[in-house]
Amino acid sequence: MFSPSEWRFETKTEIISKRRPAIQTRRIATLAWLINNKVLIMSWLIFLALLLPAPQDPQYPPVGIIDFYGLRSISERQVRESLQIKEGDSLSGPPKEAERKLGSLPGVAEARFRLVCCDVGKAILYVGIREKGAPSIQFHPAPQGKVRLPQDVVQAGEDYQKAVSDAVIKGNAGEDDSQGHALFNDPAARAVQERLIKFAARDLNLLRNVLRHSADAEHRALAAEVIAYTANKQAVVNDLVEAMRDPAGDVRNNATRALAVMAGSARQTTRHPIKIPVRPFIEMLNSIEWSDRNKSSFALLGLTEKRDPAILSELRQKALPSLIEMARWKSSGHALPSFFLLGRAAGFREDEINAAWERGDRASFIETAVKRANVK
């Protein structure tokens, strides 16, 4: 059986982990943002209603979906034969041996597994491959500094996780991102977030120091969460972008998520929008780490909303194969961002992309989008 630290709860979640619930609830907020922008309609509201509280001893369901990314010259059949895990299997522990076998396949430089809960009550296993000769994303070396966050900030982080978990269980996980940071509708969660605003103003320099130099990855992850509440969002964009190359996945997750909220906020429609570089997110679409791809694709939905031709061109040039494979993922909640990004890169209008999605016409739309994108 997996420990909570080995299990990732993401979109279409029917079990909510007690560990780092903010990861899940922010995903809900992103979906709510899409609904508000008429990308999703009633079917996604139904998804929000399916969330259930976690039991004290969560049971991990059998694998319902196995999906892949990073395959270019190596076939899915080759990977499946080496994997020796199939849909319907129940895993009793982390599939480290299967990951090792995949890493030793001819042409494979490295492999990654990510188990995600859940689709129709079953787990999703994502299998990532980086083929030999394919570029790899270089993360920063692990910091070695002794600097840490103050105890009141650490306590606020713990209080925040509990309040967010309670809000989700009560069905009150909606939030207001209009100011460029998250403010929950739930009074208890919002009260903690208002404390984070005060800490961001009081400890900005310390937060920067922890984020860049602390040897404690949990403190760096919390610093990435708190620093996003500073009043001057532009002043911390570079700090968060730098944190997207942190060696710890939770730090990258929180930094990317914070930037995604900024990118989708109402401030982006003002005369002085927050300037967020797009290239780091496009690069992350090619990461071997599933969570990097997932978070970056959601962030890029906001960053490509204005359809800047240069950004869409860079998407086509640097991430088209990744967008295609991710748009084909069987879990619709995980495929959606890349489906819309692929449609934008191919020049489809937003209503055309939305109509194809609502029809469930993914395969033929992707085929047409690929042809259009390749001639641009």
The 10s digit of each residue's pLDDT in 100-151 is 889 889 999 999 999 888 888 899 999 999 999 998 899 999 999 999 999 9
Q: Check residues 269 and 206 and name the one with the higher pLDDT.
A: 206
Taking the domain 1-18+54-135, which CATH number applies?
A: 3.10.20.310
Quickly state the pLDDT bin for 60 (edges 50, 70, 90): low
> What is the rounded CA–CA span in Å between residue 307 and residue 81?
41
Quickly state the pLDDT bin for 93 (edges 50, 70, 90): low
Secondary structure element (H or E) that encloses residue 315, with its range? helix 309-327
Q: What is the DSSP letter of 351?
A: H
Name the pTM for this structure. Answer: 0.82
Residue of 334, 251, 272 lying closest to 47 (CA atoms): 334
Which residues of the chain does CATH 3.10.20.310 include? 1-18+54-135
CB-based contacts of 291: which residues, under 8 Å, 6+ apart? 8, 114, 249, 252, 253
Q: Give yes or no for a cis peptide into 118 (omega within 30° of 0).
A: yes
CB-based contacts of 108: which residues, under 8 Å, 6+ apart? 74, 102, 129, 130, 131, 132
Give the mean pLDDT of 239-268.
Answer: 91
Length of the chain: 376
Residue of 189, 187, 185, 166 lying closest to 53 (CA atoms): 166
> What is the rounded CA–CA span in Å between residue 264 and residue 374?
28
Dihedrals phi, psi of 64, to nearest 5 degrees: -100, -30
Amino acid in the structure at residue 133: G
